[in-house]
């Protein structure tokens, strides 16, 4: 019994942190469509912004994993931007080499930039796309110098007919990066990297919530095993209860005074894992998803706290 509970605790933590499952949602599809449009337009960058806990990071990973189905293979690398320190160009390129999993990170700044350029170009050329996507996560922490160094890298890659595309994902303040660059005197960079914008939404309708829950109903984790089986609830279907679930979230949103109901992905993953853990504790041969259980599980997601964060403009530590 203890071993089962411990395994569930580990799985629940991974799911709630955005590492255990990746469910395709309407916002994921929207991001895929936008990124495809930007790439086909020949853009060098795009910005995806939204309040905390919307699921931006996992959605971007899903998009980069599936974009080959739309426009063919396009290599990419995930670069979580670190804040709180003034990086030198040598340290910055060393960190980029580490992020793309390059084995050699020694040398001066020029050596590292050349090594990174060759590595990214080789991957882009082999793919046939002649494009490499750098997924800059928490991009609101980027400094103007970072953009200048990336411009230098992009210029070197252009000499080999390879495009470096900066996919910048982060908090709402990311929309002000253009002003940050202009204030730093980098007047040519906004046109390169900041003219394409997408505000990443949460789940905004009952239909989108139902489709999202259908994803949880069918997903396998680990492969070959239905996710719900980990909680001894393989037979249930949360999407069958989507209307009641939406009504519970909507009621909290209405009571808070929000103009529209918008549910962050973090609240949905919390709801799913809380209700599955509650069902596992029932120890019944056939679990029952009651209205009372749905209501209490929605309340325990702390959805109202997220509404307060969104209305105050305060960002919670990101992300999933």
For the chain, domain boundaries: 2-17+203-312, 26-199
Strands 163-170 and 45-49 come out as parallel
Q: At what angle do helices 303-312 and 265-282 cross, to 10 degrees?
A: 170
Q: What is the mean pLDDT of each run of 10 residues along the chain (320 residues)?
A: 64 69 88 97 96 87 95 96 77 92 82 95 97 96 93 96 97 92 91 92 94 92 83 87 97 94 92 90 75 95 88 52
Looking at residue 17, its pLDDT comes to 65
58 neighbors 320 (Cβ within 8 angstroms):
yes
User: How many residues does this entry show for the chain?
Assistant: 320
Strands (E), the chain: 45-49, 76-80, 131-137, 163-170, 197-199
CA 78/CA 76 separation, integer angstroms = 7
* Joined tokens for residue 256: 């808070």
Candidates 3.40.50.300, 3.30.450.20, 2.30.30.240, 3.40.50.970; correct CATH number of 26-199?
A: 3.40.50.300
CA 114/CA 132 separation, integer angstroms = 15
What b-and-e string marks burial along 201-214, b requiring 16 or more CB atoms within 10 Å of the CB? bbbeebebbbbbbb
Helix (H, G, I), strand (E, B) or coil at 229: helix
Neighbours of 121 (CB within 10 A): 20
CA dihedral 76, 199, 70, 154 (to 10 degrees): -40
* DSSP per residue, 155-224: HHHHTTT-EEEEEEEE-GGGGGHHHHHHHTT-TTHHHHHSS-EEEPP-B-SHHHHHHHHHHHHH-BSSTT
79 neighbors 96 (Cβ within 8 angstroms):
yes
Looking at residue 309, its pLDDT comes to 79
Strand-pairing partners, residue 263, are 203
CA 5/CA 15 separation, integer angstroms = 15
Helix (H, G, I), strand (E, B) or coil at 136: strand
231 neighbors 286 (Cβ within 8 angstroms):
no
Looking at residue 121, its pLDDT comes to 98
Q: Is the pTM of this model over 0.75?
A: yes
């Amino acid at each position: 019994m203890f071993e089962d509970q411990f395994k569930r605790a580990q799985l629940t933590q991974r799911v709630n942190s955005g590492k255990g499952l990746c469910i395709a949602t309407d916002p994921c599809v929207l991001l895929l469509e936008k990124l495809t449009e930007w790439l086909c337009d020949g853009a060098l960058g795009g910005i995806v912004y939204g309040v905390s806990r919307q699921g931006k990071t996992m959605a971007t990973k899903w998009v980069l994993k599936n974009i080959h189905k739309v426009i063919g293979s396009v290599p990419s690398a995930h670069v979580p931007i670190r804040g709180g320190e003034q990086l030198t160009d040598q340290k910055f390129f060393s960190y980029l080499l580490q992020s793309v999993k390059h084995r050699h990170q020694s040398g001066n700044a020029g050596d590292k930039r050349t090594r990174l350029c060759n590595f990214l170009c080789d991957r882009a050329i082999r793919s046939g796309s002649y494009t490499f996507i750098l997924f800059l996560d928490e991009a609101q922490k980027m400094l103007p110098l970072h953009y200048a160094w990336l411009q230098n890298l992009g210029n070197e890659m252009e000499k080999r007919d390879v495009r470096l595309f900066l996919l910048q994902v982060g908090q709402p303040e990311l929309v002000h990066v253009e002003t940050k660059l202009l204030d730093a005197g980098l007047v040519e960079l906004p046109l390169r990297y900041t003219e394409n914008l997408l505000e990443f939404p949460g789940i905004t309708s009952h239909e989108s919530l139902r489709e999202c829950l259908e994803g949880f109903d069918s997903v396998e984790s680990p492969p070959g095993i239905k996710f719900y089986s980990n909680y001894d609830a393989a037979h249930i279907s949360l999407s069958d209860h989507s209307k009641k679930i939406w009504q519970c979230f909507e009621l909290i949103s209405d009571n808070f005074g929000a103009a529209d109901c918008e549910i962050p992905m973090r609240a949905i993953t919390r709801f799913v894992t809380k209700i599955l853990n509650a069902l596992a504790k029932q120890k019944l041969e056939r679990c029952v998803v009651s209205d009372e259980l749905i209501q209490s599980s929605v309340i325990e997601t702390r959805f109202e706290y997220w509404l307060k964060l969104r209305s105050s403009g305060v960002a919670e530590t990101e992300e999933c």
